[in-house]
Structure 1
């Protein structure tokens, strides 16, 4: 099938408004492997927009040359709802203003138990037949999801496009950060080449975060089923969240580099025909998510950092200070930001005016931190 663009209309939230999600399709429908990519689910995180725009150009050329072997779906703008939340030039696109509010990348529909109930008694000794069966049941469950609101419609649309894919790549970014990714423990080795191609040295290894995020939701069905059926039902889907550096790390050079990395990865996975890329993954290191220190502001004020993104830190080391502008004595108005883990300082908020108690910096550590709660590893 030649390159096609499909528009998916969301339920109209208010009189006279209508939003759409555009999906770019390459390859024959049903061809394998199938890879799904999206950007901007957090609508204030924009590097992925330009990266996927650049990747689409590469894929159009590959399509014209007949090199597409699998199926590729790209949604370059995944959250038109969040993008519309423009408040005097500022787009607070991480949280929904309507439909009960909440983080756009949390609390997605969990279908695992429903699929397992429908599957009961149908599993055979043919693992690939089982994968096809599970995918058909997932499609049935997706069709029954409600779309009474615009947000429900958006989630249903994105899941319908992605949940039968072999791989799902969800592109995000942090405030200020080095390239990194959140990867399920089961997929560390599978995605190591992708991290290497992107130049990510930090991978956060997770199991159950409790967030019910988009990438977790796409694999949660398979994780649920494998607990009962093990090898009879292999992984029918693998997903990860890629953090494309910081919010302002947007330029043609970065976009070209990252798009080429994604294109090479598609070659590696036999989705596109081409010469297999050479990969050096020796610099990719996985750190347990429950070993990640979220450094919190000890007071409200202006933050000044002593350490730079990408630098190593030691537990007890001061990585910066927050200046409390309300202190009477300016000579003692600086409060230290103290690392609680040995590791890599890889991300921080972009704002320099911070609120007391908020997490403003991230350190990837190697050892479990007692104050990190398994199943509740994301605070927002």
Structure 2
């Protein structure tokens, strides 16, 4: 058996408190391919917790049969800091209360320049040797990262577990949504089998969002180096964010379905031994992230939608309305929510009391939208 559980203690934020990140390791250290998965970096997004709990059980059984051929690391609870932000029974786990606040999945350390300075005189024509060289430099730079706060310690810990992986899969969810994913343009073909197995018909594709999110950060060193060394520097890590439907889409049925799909994917990638799965990815469609319409609330009030998730919409079509509760004329209190793109209505707010100007619905479109700014494609 190769299954091991390691506990990583974070710096103590206040006297008498200490948080721990647990990582489940399967396979022999250094075996390839290596796949890393985590859930709950946004600590108010919980479907991934149950999915990875179910997946670990399946991997334990596979391990007992000697079927683990590569290395798999699973962090089932990636953000104990955010989970501790319990405010009268509500866990606002998307943003940090301390360390300057901010979105837990933004502005991760970018190591590309530093790694390049370490390796620039050692790159050769041997691609495998270059991969090892870069991974060693990444480990050195990760060791040098500060951990003077709890949040810094969390980021350093998660990156140390993930950045030498061949693949990084970061599990999230939306308020209410279809299964979908955010994928770098370079990885569209590579991750299509995963999306087909997971039933994600919608994938948002981008070159670089400017968010410096966790998944982007894991691939960013390689993207940076490829601009300098081209074919001498292959992708040493590919990553994506997988959105597991909506916040309340949590059940043993969903967890079993998703964990089984991930196991099939492991077999497909030959990290677990088994019969090759049949993969139907014909429904997977990639939409440019800069073509995604963020439908904003025109007023504060109660949002009502008349379109279902997964439905096709056209630009100019009304997908719902917001009712202004403070309007003097209640007969004229409904303001339409109008699509600005032809595409698929795939996500929306779970909360129905909305603030004026909030983005409360998402439509995956095919054509660039003038108001979408490259490099600033995510709203926190």
- Please list every run of 5 or more consecutive structure 1 residues that lacks an aligned counterpart in the other structure: none
| Superposition RMSD in Å | 0.5
**1:119 corresponds to which residue?**
119
The 3-state SS of whatever aligns with 1:215 is helix
Q: Structure 2 length normalisation: TM-score?
A: 1.00
> Are 1:73 and 2:79 matched, yes or no?
no
2: CA distance, partners of 1:167 / 1:337 = 38
**1:85 corresponds to which residue?**
85
2: CA distance, partners of 1:180 / 1:259 = 16
**2:43 corresponds to which residue?**
43
The 3-state SS of whatever aligns with 1:105 is coil
Q: Deviations over 1:63-116 (max 9, x none)?
A: 000000000000000000000000010000000000000000000000001101
> Are 1:19 and 2:34 matched, yes or no?
no
**1:164 corresponds to which residue?**
164
Q: Deviations over 1:25-84 (max 9, x none)?
A: 000000000000000000000000000000000000000000000000000000000000
2: CA distance, partners of 1:379 / 1:87 = 24
2: CA distance, partners of 1:114 / 1:349 = 39
> Are 1:207 and 2:207 matched, yes or no?
yes
1: CA distance, partners of 2:2 / 2:162 = 20
- Where does structure 1 differ by over 4 angstroms across 4 or more consecutive aligned residues? none
> Are 1:96 and 2:100 matched, yes or no?
no
**1:261 corresponds to which residue?**
261
**2:362 corresponds to which residue?**
362
**Matched ranges for 1:280-319 at <5 A:** 280-319=280-319
> Are 1:134 and 2:134 matched, yes or no?
yes
2: CA distance, partners of 1:132 / 1:341 = 44
**Matched ranges for 1:57-68 at <5 A:** 57-68=57-68
2: CA distance, partners of 1:308 / 1:298 = 20
Q: Deviations over 1:125-155 (max 9, x none)?
A: 0001000000000000000000000000000
> Are 1:33 and 2:33 matched, yes or no?
yes
2: CA distance, partners of 1:104 / 1:261 = 27
**2:185 corresponds to which residue?**
185
- Please list every run of 5 or more consecutive structure 2 residues that lacks an aligned counterpart in the other structure: none
* 1:2 CA drift (Å): 1.5
2: CA distance, partners of 1:276 / 1:219 = 27
The 3-state SS of whatever aligns with 2:211 is coil
**2:352 corresponds to which residue?**
352
1: CA distance, partners of 2:207 / 2:252 = 34
Q: Structure 1 length normalisation: TM-score?
A: 1.00
* 1:121 CA drift (Å): 1.2
* 1:119 CA drift (Å): 1.0
1: CA distance, partners of 2:9 / 2:121 = 37
* 1:120 CA drift (Å): 1.2
* Aligned length, in residue pairs: 380
The 3-state SS of whatever aligns with 1:320 is strand
The 3-state SS of whatever aligns with 2:239 is strand
Q: Deviations over 1:158-195 (max 9, x none)?
A: 00000000000000000000000000000000000000
The 3-state SS of whatever aligns with 1:379 is coil
